Structure 1
Amino acid sequence: MYWNEINPKIQNVLFKFDDSDVKKDRTRAVVRLKTTSTKFVNLFFSSSNIHGFNHLTTEKRHFIERFLWVIAICFCIYGSVVLGTSTWTRYQENPTVISMERDYKEWSTALPAVTLCPINNMDEQKFEEMVEKEFPGYSEDEKQEMKAFLEMLANATYGTFDNVPFYTKITPDHYLTIVEKLQIHVLYTITNSNMEGYALFNLVPTISELGFCHTYNGEISQYNDFNYWMQNNRSILPPAGSLSGTPLDGDVFTQITSMNFGYMGFLHSPHEAPDIANRIYSSPESFYKTLDVTALSIYSTPEIQSLSPKQRGCRYKHESNLELSPIYTYNICRNECRMKQAIKLCGCVPYFYRPTNHKICDVKGMHCLDQYEDYLVKLRNTTGDNSKVNCGCLPPCDDVSYIVEGENTIQWFLGTNLKWGLIKFPKMRLKRNLLFGLTDVLVSIGGTAGLFFGCSVLSFLEIIYFLTLRLFCIIFTKKN
């Protein structure tokens, strides 16, 4: 018999019968679920060794007793959450301590590095050869126009970009390559006193925010080398090494004599790069400059490497998050921040940063940057509140800071000379050490749990057991 042949009244009766059965089944299922859940919660509270829970399910307890125990348990939960959160916040924000060491006879101090940038950094003979080879047929006026442009470009930086004349016959993408071709050939002689790891290094070509320069005793200058950039290399290079000395070595100094150029220079750590915001020590040709330096070191113990950079408040060299370099230093981070601010303000970057996908500033772009010189050099916001730009740059975990206590410049008839060194060795240094580690966090949180609930590790395992294996067994048994 087909369904449509059944009497409609009978169909209605059947539908009502089916609907009522379904509703009854659902009601029974809900009742069974509530009953099972209640039994499961009672089982957990009565068998758990966490203090206070068993009073909620014990028979012959008055309602007021249960209510008071609920209040007590809520208070304990609140107290444990507050203290546990405080402990975790301390671990995340302040787990290290900086202490002072005074056994200065046991350590050596690095000699500061210098970066020298020639004031007139264009070789006229190389310019003539380049014009004959790459721009044949140029008139004398065209040569002079190009020469004036390249002379200003080779020495352009924040504060002097406005001096660069308009010139459109060379595209911005070729600025870096052409300026590198026209560098002067530097002449110099280096002498230094006997130091630990005594060696005579040479001036290493490097690029800074003052253009093409030369660095002595710098370990990371090789990452700002023109050839390294052009190869699009981002590999970690073997350490170049640096000079250092101890109090037993006596006076520690280095001299670069008979230089054939005047310079603008930076004095910085061997593990750092120059920064345009740092103090610049300049000298014209045929002058003798001396710098008397003192130092203060800070180093980090191996234990803090287990912390994140945000927790320890510093970053190791190999933990680079920078676009410009595969290694991290504080000044390179600031260079990158300054580059990003230039993009934000003028839509382009100066040619002396590592080539990336960003647009290189033409003359119009450089003039734009010159309008924001103070904001870019000091990394301040242009909103008028004089606030600093949040660059997110953390200091290095191991570093040496230098203070120039004496500077003297005199005219010298034997070329341009520079002498610098440590006039006295530091008798203290700073140590960044782990004060509150993960073990301390576990002990503190465990003590808090014991104070408020009288529970242990087994108590927490018991909670996991009830919510996983025991719950599964109950559900599986009910289904069967």
Structure 2
Amino acid sequence: MPLFNVLVGDILIWFVLTISAFTGAVYCALSQYSRYNSEPVVVSMQRDYRSWWTAFPAVTACYLSRVHPDKAQLIIEKHWNVTEDSDPGKYQYYYDFIELVADVSFRENLQNFWKYQSDETVKELDLLQLALFVHPEIELNVVMSQKQEVIWHPVMTEVGMCLTYNSKYAKYQHMLHDKEWVPSELLKCHYLSGQCYVRIDSVDNGVRYFIHSPFEISTAISNPTGEVSPGEELIIDFKSLQYAYVAASLEYSFIAVKSQGDC
């Protein structure tokens, strides 16, 4: 009799455990099925990291001096009929205006335009074309590990006119309105590449660099990655994390070099 009671007790315990496990499994299955119907998302993981490519960062370069003196002189003489010899004060007045337009910054000097708000002689100017005309020639020579051609696009940002490449949204800031925007593929680096870099020689002009995602644009609240003056060298390393692939990462080496000019 005691043995019979033990067997019945064991059977009852296992029966309860089996029913509980089955009920829990059915509950989990129904919950997942209901969740799939409400949010049908397929989750998968790619393990073939040998074929992974990732986009190289975008580079926005802003000259520290954005007015070419000879070009500014030409504009002042042609538009206002003023020379440095005929009226030095008036010449400097218009030169300051050109510098303000070329270096306009949403965060720093936008309020300085009050000085010219009642001046009728500057109201007919196309300020965008003025900034583009007086800008120094583009002398940013680029060498990449992938041997790809780099095209610098003049863009108007919240910190004035700058040059950018490898930016997906540069077409919305493009200053050459008379030319049709030609889209180009983003520069990419292979996951296993031991050398993925870009070297920029800016000759004899100081440059402020913004390194950012190719799916972003530099703004007035963006902190510049660094400034490079003549005779200086700036080396920056970046690591890109592929969150979609859990733990994949790719290291970049970005080098901006001032190889010429006075130290």
- Structure 2-normalised TM-score? 0.68
State the Cα distance separating 1:271 from its structure 2 match: 3.5
Structure holding more strand per residue: 2
| Shift in Å, 1:110 | 1.4
Residues matched between the structures, number: 216
Q: Which amino acid aligns with 1:182?
A: V
2:53 is the counterpart of 1:108:
yes
Q: CA shift at 1:126, angstroms?
A: 0.3
Classify the secondary structure of the residue corresponding to 1:213.
strand
Match of 1:112, as an amino acid? Answer: P
- Deviation, 1:142, is 0.9
Which residue of structure 2 aligns with residue 166 of structure 1?
115
Larger Rg: 1
8 Å CA contact 2:228, 2:234 repeated in 1: no
Q: Which residue of 2 aligns with 1:358?
A: none
2:234 and 2:160 map into 1 onto residues whose CA distance is: 22
C-alpha distance in 2 between matches for 1:278 and 1:100 = 34
Say if 2:64 and 2:207, in contact at 8 Å, map to a contact too: yes
2:185 matches 1:185: no
Three-state SS of the structure 2 residue aligned to 1:259 is: coil
Tell me how far 1:261 sits from its aligned partner. Answer: 2.0
Contact 2:57 2:213 in 1 (8 A): yes
Does structure 1 residue 289 correspond to structure 2 residue 234?
Answer: yes
| Residue 160 of structure 2 is aligned to residue 208 of structure 1 | no
1:211-360 matched pairs, under 5 angstroms = 211-228=160-177, 239-286=183-230, 287-297=232-242
Inter-partner Cα distance in structure 2 for 1:265 and 1:172: 33
Check the 8 A contact 2:209/2:226 in 1, yes or no: yes
1:121 aligns with 2:66: yes
Give the distance between the partners of 1:261 and 1:112, measured in 2 at CA. Answer: 23
Distance 2:70 2:114 in 1: 22
Matched residue, 1:414: 260
Aligned partner (choices 95, 99, 113) of residue 147 of structure 1:
95
In structure 1, list runs of 5 or more residues that go unmatched: 1-86, 300-400, 417-480
Q: Which runs of 5+ in 2 are unaligned?
A: 1-33
Identical positions, percent = 23
How many Å separate the matches in 2 of 1:182 and 1:130?
8
Cα distance, 1:107 vs structure 2:
1.2
Q: Which amino acid aligns with 2:98?
A: L
> Any conservation in 1 of the 2:82–2:91 contact (CA below 8 Å)?
no
Secondary structure of residue in 1 paired with 2:223: coil
| Other-structure match for 2:13 | none
User: Cα distance, 1:227 vs. partner?
Assistant: 1.9
Correspondences of 1:439-478 after superposition (within 5 Å): none
CA RMSD of aligned residues (A): 3.5
Structure 1 residues 102 and 415: alpha-carbon distance in aligned structure 2, compared to 1, 3 A threshold:
farther
State the Cα distance separating 1:173 from its structure 2 match.
Answer: 6.2
Q: Distance in 2 between matches of 1:97 and 1:282?
A: 42
- The one-letter code sitting in structure 2 at the alignment partner of 1:260 is D
Deviations 1:330-381 (A, max 9, x none): xxxxxxxxxxxxxxxxxxxxxxxxxxxxxxxxxxxxxxxxxxxxxxxxxxxx
Query: 1:115 aligns to what SS in structure 2?
Result: strand
Give the deviation of 1:274 after TM superposition: 2.2
Structure 1 residues 375-390: aligned runs within 5 Å? none
